[in-house]
A and B are shown apart, each in its own frame.
Chain A
Amino acid sequence: MKRFRVWLLCSSLCLLLTGCWSAQELTDITLAKALAIDKDGEDYKVTIQVLNPGEIAGDQLSTRATISTYSASGRSIFEAIRKLTKSSPRKVHLSHLQLVVYGEETAKEGIGKTLDFLIRDHEVRTDFTIAIAKGLSGDALISILTPLEKIPADKVRSSVESSEDFWAPTKEVKLDELIESISSNGKEAILTGVYLVGSPDEGTKMENTEYSDSPAQIYLDDIGVFRGDKLQGWLNEKESKGFNYITDNVTNTIGWVDCNDGGTISVEVFQSNTNMQGSVVNGEPSIKIDIKIKANIGDVECSLDLSKPKTIQDVQKKLEQKTINIAEASISAAQEYRSDIFGFGNAIRRSNPKKWEQIKDNWNTIYPDLNVDVQAQVEIKKSGMITQPIYEKIERKTEKEE
Chain B
Amino acid sequence: MTEKLDGKQFTVLVIMNTLGASIIFIPSIATNYGKENGWITLIFSTILGVFIILLYNQIIKKLNGKEFFSTIDILFGKWLGAIIIMLLTCYIFINTFANLWAISDFISLQILMGTPFEVISLIIALTVLIAIRYGIEVIGRTAQLFFPFTMLCALLLTLLVIKDADFSNITPIFQLNKSATIVGTLPIVSVTFLELVILLAITDNVNNIQSARKGFLVGGFTSGLILLVITLACITVLGVQGTANYAYPIYALGQRISIFDFVERVEIIVAFIWFFTIFIKLCVSFYVFTNGISHLLKLKNYKTLSVPLALFIFLASILSVPNTFASFAFINGAYIVLSVTAGLILPLIILGVLLIKKRVF
Contact = CB atoms under 8 A, between A and B. Distances in A.
B240 to A, nearest CB: 7
Interface stretch (B62-70, B89-97, B109-117, B338-346): B109-117
Contact of A122 (B110, B123, B175): B110
B123 A180 contact: no
A305 interface: no
A176 B114 contact: no
B239 A127 contact: no
B242 A176 contact: yes
B322 interface: no
B210 interface: no
Contacts of B230: none
A346 B113 contact: no
Contacts of A266: none
A127 B109 contact: no
Interface string A219-241: 00000000000000000000000
Contact of A126 (B115, B123, B176, B252): B252
> Majority SS of interface residues in chain A?
helix
Interface in B18-39: none
Interface in A4-43: 16, 21-22
Given A22-B113, A122-B110, A353-B172, A176 B239 contact: yes
Contacts of A179: 241-242, 245
B301 interface: no
A276 to B, nearest CB: 9
Contacts of B240: 180, 184
Contacts of B168: 346, 350
Given A119-B245, A179-B242, A16 B123 contact: yes
Contact of A21 (B115, B175, B239, B245): B115
B310 interface: no
B211 interface: no
A183 B239 CA distance: 11
B123 A21 contact: no
Contacts of A349: 172, 176
Contacts of B175: 353-354
Contacts of B172: 349-351, 353
Interface in A323-349: 346, 349
Contact of B114 (A21, A119, A126, A346): A21
Contacts of B245: 119, 179
A83 interface: no
Interface in B224-258: 238-242, 245, 252, 255-256, 258
A261 interface: no
Instruction: Give the size range of B's interface with the partner.
Output: 20 to 34
Nearest to A161: B261
B171 interface: yes
Interface string B288-313: 00000000000000000000000000
A22 B255 contact: no
A177 B245 CA distance: 13
Contacts, number: 50
B176 A357 contact: yes
B80 to A, nearest CB: 46
A122 B113 contact: yes
A288 interface: no
A322 interface: no
B239 A180 contact: yes
Interface in B105-126: 109-110, 112-115, 119, 123
A21 B241 CA distance: 35
A184 B35 CA distance: 12
A125 interface: yes
Nearest to A119: B245
Contacts of A346: 168
Residue with the highest number of chain A CB atoms closer than 10 Å, among B110, B113, B239, B256: B239
Nearest to A126: B255
A180 B238 CA distance: 9
A361 B242 CA distance: 22
B258 to A, nearest CB: 7
A114 to B, nearest CB: 15
Contacts of A354: 175
A123 B240 CA distance: 23
Contacts of A176: 238-239, 242, 252, 256
Contacts of B112: 21-22
A123 B111 CA distance: 10
A122 B115 contact: no
Residue with the highest number of chain A CB atoms closer than 10 Å, among B240, B245, B252, B265: B245
Contacts of A180: 239-242
A218 B114 CA distance: 39
B241 A184 contact: yes
Contacts of B238: 176
A184 to B, nearest CB: 6
A350 B240 CA distance: 14
Contacts of B119: 21
Nearest to B173: A350
23 contacts: A21-B114, A21-B119, A22-B112, A22-B113, A119-B245, A122-B110, A122-B113, A127-B258, A127-B264, A176-B239, A176-B252, A177-B239, A179-B245, A180-B240, A184-B240, A184-B241, A346-B168, A350-B171, A350-B172, A351-B172, A353-B175, A353-B176, A354-B175
Given A119-B245, A350-B168, 9 more contacts: A22-B113, A22-B114, A122-B113, A127-B256, A127-B258, A176-B238, A184-B240, A184-B241, A350-B172
Interface of B: 109-110, 112-115, 119, 123, 168, 171-172, 175-176, 238-242, 245, 252, 255-256, 258, 264-265
Leading 5 A-B pairs by shortest Cβ distance: A22-B114, A353-B175, A180-B239, A350-B171, A353-B172
